[in-house]
Amino acid sequence: MNPRRYIRAAWEAPRWSASPCYFEVGEGAILPVYSVRSRFVAQNQNSQMKQAPIPRGPQLDASAIVRTLENATTESGAKLIHLVEHSPVLLVFLRHAGCTFCRETLSDIDDMRAAIEADGTRIVLVHLGDRSEICDLVRKYYVENIERICDPSLELYSAFGLTRGSFWQLFGPKVWWRGLIAGWIRGHGVGHPAADSGQMPGVFLIEDGVVTNRFRHRSAADRPSYVEICEIGRRETR
d(CA 76, CA 124): 11
Domains and CATH numbers, the chain: 6-236 (3.40.30.10)
Q: What is the mean pLDDT of residues 124-148?
A: 93
CB atoms within 10 A of CB 37: 19
The CA–CA distances, whole Å, from 148 to 123, 145, 168, 199, 228 equal 9, 9, 29, 17, 21
Q: What pLDDT shows up at residue 209?
A: 79
Q: pLDDT tens across 46-65, in order?
A: 323 332 232 333 566 777 88
Q: pLDDT tens across 72-111, in order?
A: 999 999 999 999 999 999 999 999 988 999 999 999 999 9
In the chain the first and final C-alpha atoms are separated, in Å, by 26
The CA–CA distances, whole Å, from 216 to 10, 71, 134, 142, 160 equal 10, 23, 21, 25, 10
Q: pLDDT tens across 183-205, in order?
A: 898 889 888 787 889 999 999 99
CB atoms within 10 A of CB 30: 15
Check: CB of residue 120 under 8 Å from CB of residue 88.
yes
Q: Indicate whether 129 pLDDT > 90.
A: no
Q: Compute and round to an integer the Cα radius of gyration of the chain.
A: 17
